[in-house]
Structure 1
């Protein structure tokens, strides 16, 4: 919740009331709704109206402070005295302030150009919430309305004086937006208040405002804004300037606390030469302010750029350190993963080797048992006789083995005999005779030696399948 002292101080700054007790009573009467209290105060103050040019009621939103030697004070205590110009500090209408620059509520200050930089604030920036939910929408609507009036003035000006190709480059924005634009471009704001019914208006617009020299000088050195006193914003600005004669022109620049500095005003008919001379003098007298503001703005931009570059360099260095640290961690994790993977593979290979050795030993033991069993199954070798077959077996390595078998012995027994010798490392082989070539494969194991034609003797060799 915003402190009541802040609201009280802001209300005093907006209204200009110095009596703190009176301000407190007004705020309390409006439930400390700051925007509602300001609106009520400014509305009530509009009852004391005056006439403009004999035809229009004046809204007394303004305070004039004639200050030929008035110094503008800054937040840091410094002061700037305008060079050779009798400045007037003018308080702008709250309705114009609140509807400008897209702020959610009334602006406290437009800011200084001179030596202090821009000082722009809003209620939202100070922590004040909108007193009414629709204030932001109303401000946006007011800003759009002001821009619409500006564009309507330009259209009417072009219609009445468009046959002259030379015209001031009036901006199609509201007064506050034009003021903001002049500040951002480090230029003064040229204000023209248009009174369509005044007899001096047409010749002034044709001969002076649309003069080639005047137009060139205005467009080069100023931001130009125009408004008709028939429009809402133009009428209120005529009250602010207390315009008493038309045509009316003024040169202003932003001041502080919702005010502007009136550097020069030109009332009544003016020749192009007089207008150029006046504007030249204002530009020359204000050049120190504008140059100082531009230099300081450039210094601020330079300092900001340097800070951004330093921040960018710091972030880059930090990111590089973080990247190196991340890379180091990733490398360390990769090394640890590789070491763990190597250890896992080593263990797997060791286990596989042990398993293979164990299986080989088991297979060898099984083969030994099988040879022993088959050798026992052969029985004793028979003595020579008519029913005994002599078998000679030649192995692939050139080794020969022979034995006698009963002629009715099955070929299966020959395979058992070869297996029992342990010469071969495989059981995938066949017994073959050369002449004629005959294969005694496993499909003939049930045949007897005699039936197979191997009696009384046979010479067989082994062919690995």
Structure 2
């Protein structure tokens, strides 16, 4: 929908370009007759316009599509209106409109502050048709049909469009028969209406962003919860694996310990009978848990036999030491080939079994 649409229509050959007008003979063309490259053509338009009128809006040297993106493609707070200036060099009003209205400080400054400005020259049939095709695609067929029907002397036109993202709508078409006050009034009115829409769009955009942020926070919390659950499961699996490995290690160690104890038991001579006539050593052992057990040995037995006997009970030299109370002696530090009698473990003795405070020391090799 747009306002101020022109009432004067031209069914004649507005598409026919006459290059030999009085204006055309005095001035350089604002745009090549066939603008094949929009960027090059618009750079020429901007340069020639500034040279001809010594000022004017800062026209973007971009395609119309890119100009709409520049104006409407950002968030609501940064959007601007789009001012589309359509020039016709054969119009009797072109020079007055440009020099006295469009290039006035008030209009130029207002456009610079609140609008993205873009321009095109429809003097040649080729360039007009190209603009109309772009206009139909971007601004709609209604705007394109209206511009197509504008008479030559009703140019220049100033189209005011607002938009949001890819949506674009022309809400005013200002013709050349306006004076400066009318032009400024229409620009200000378009701006004020745009600001009302912008504030509503800002509220909608802020609400949308807030919803998206809440959704992102929820998704992040859910992701972190999943990661925490996954980490917990992994930790539980690792702990279960660790416990299983410890159990397996304990079983291996227990099995080895049992095998060692069995080997030590098989290496120990049988206990002497009560009616044995040889000298005997009766030894009481006090275990770390306070329990006691006794064993009788031949007094001539080697100290190694006594140590092996203690080891067969599970108190190996690697984990425990055997102490003689008086004088306090660690039997594991003595000569294992010496006899019990020579070490005064005779005829009877109480020995104390303690956990070895340092399993790397005070050990001896089995004979």
TM-score (norm 1): 0.42
Over 6 Å off, 4+ runs? 130-135
Q: 2 CA distance for matches of 1:105 and 1:330?
A: 55
**Which position in structure 1 is the counterpart of 2:196?**
306
Q: 1 CA distance for matches of 2:38 and 2:258?
A: 105
Structure 2 matches for 1:298-447, cutoff 5 A? Answer: 298-383=188-273, 385-422=277-314, 424=315, 427-441=318-332, 444-447=335-338
Question: Cα deviations across residues 180-207 of structure 1 (Å, max 9, x unaligned)?
Answer: 24274499xxxxxxxxxxxxxxxxxxxx
Question: Cα deviations across residues 240-273 of structure 1 (Å, max 9, x unaligned)?
Answer: xxxxxxxxxxxxxxx94259xxxxxxxxxxxxxx
Q: 2 CA distance for matches of 1:364 and 1:331?
A: 48
Aligned counterpart for 2:50 among listed residues 143, 149, 153: 143
How big is the shift at 1:432? 1.6
**Which position in structure 1 is the counterpart of 2:126?**
none
Residue pair 2:268, 2:305 contacting (<8 A) in 1 also:
yes
* Root mean square deviation, CA, Å: 4.4
Question: Cα deviations across residues 385-404 of structure 1 (Å, max 9, x unaligned)?
Answer: 45432222222222222212
Q: Helix, strand or coil: the match of 2:104?
A: helix
Residue pair 1:395, 1:461 contacting (<8 A) in 2 also:
yes
* 1:105 and 2:31 correspond: yes
Q: Helix, strand or coil: the match of 1:458?
A: strand
How big is the shift at 1:443? 6.4
**Which position in structure 1 is the counterpart of 2:113?**
none
Q: Helix, strand or coil: the match of 1:419?
A: helix
Structure 2 matches for 1:142-181, cutoff 5 A? Answer: 143-144=50-51, 147=54, 176=98, 179-181=101-103
Q: 1 CA distance for matches of 2:191 and 2:197?
A: 10
Q: 2 CA distance for matches of 1:95 and 1:136?
A: 21
Which structure's relative contact order is higher, taking Cα pairs within 8 Å and 6+ residues apart? Answer: 2
Question: Cα deviations across residues 332-362 of structure 1 (Å, max 9, x unaligned)?
Answer: 2222222222223333333333443344344
**Which position in structure 2 is the counterpart of 1:80?**
none
Q: 2 CA distance for matches of 1:181 and 1:142?
A: 10
How big is the shift at 1:369? 3.7
Q: 1 CA distance for matches of 2:240 and 2:260?
A: 29
Q: 1 CA distance for matches of 2:53 and 2:186?
A: 31
Equivalenced residues, count: 243
Question: Cα deviations across residues 99-128 of structure 1 (Å, max 9, x unaligned)?
Answer: xxxxx529xxxxxxxxxxxxxxxx9xxx95
Residue pair 1:97, 1:176 contacting (<8 A) in 2 also:
no
How big is the shift at 1:301? 1.1
Structure 2 matches for 1:238-249, cutoff 5 A? Answer: none
**Which position in structure 1 is the counterpart of 2:104?**
182
Unaligned runs of 5+ in 2: 1-8, 56-95, 110-152, 158-177, 357-367
> Cα gap change, 1:401/1:133 in structure 2, threshold over 3 Å: closer, same or farther?
closer
Q: 2 CA distance for matches of 1:346 and 1:361?
A: 22
Structure 2 matches for 1:197-208, cutoff 5 A? Answer: none
**Which position in structure 1 is the counterpart of 2:155?**
257
TM-score (norm 2): 0.52
Q: 1 CA distance for matches of 2:350 and 2:306?
A: 12
Residue pair 1:407, 1:450 contacting (<8 A) in 2 also:
yes
Question: Cα deviations across residues 215-263 of structure 1 (Å, max 9, x unaligned)?
Answer: xxxxxxxxxxxxxxxxxxxxxxxxxxxxxxxxxxxxxxxx94259xxxx
Q: Helix, strand or coil: the match of 2:297?
A: strand
**Which position in structure 2 is the counterpart of 1:462?**
353
How big is the shift at 1:381? 0.7
> Cα gap change, 1:132/1:180 in structure 2, threshold over 3 Å: closer, same or farther?
closer
Unaligned runs of 5+ in 1: 1-12, 28-33, 46-60, 62-92, 99-103, 107-122, 149-173, 188-254, 260-287
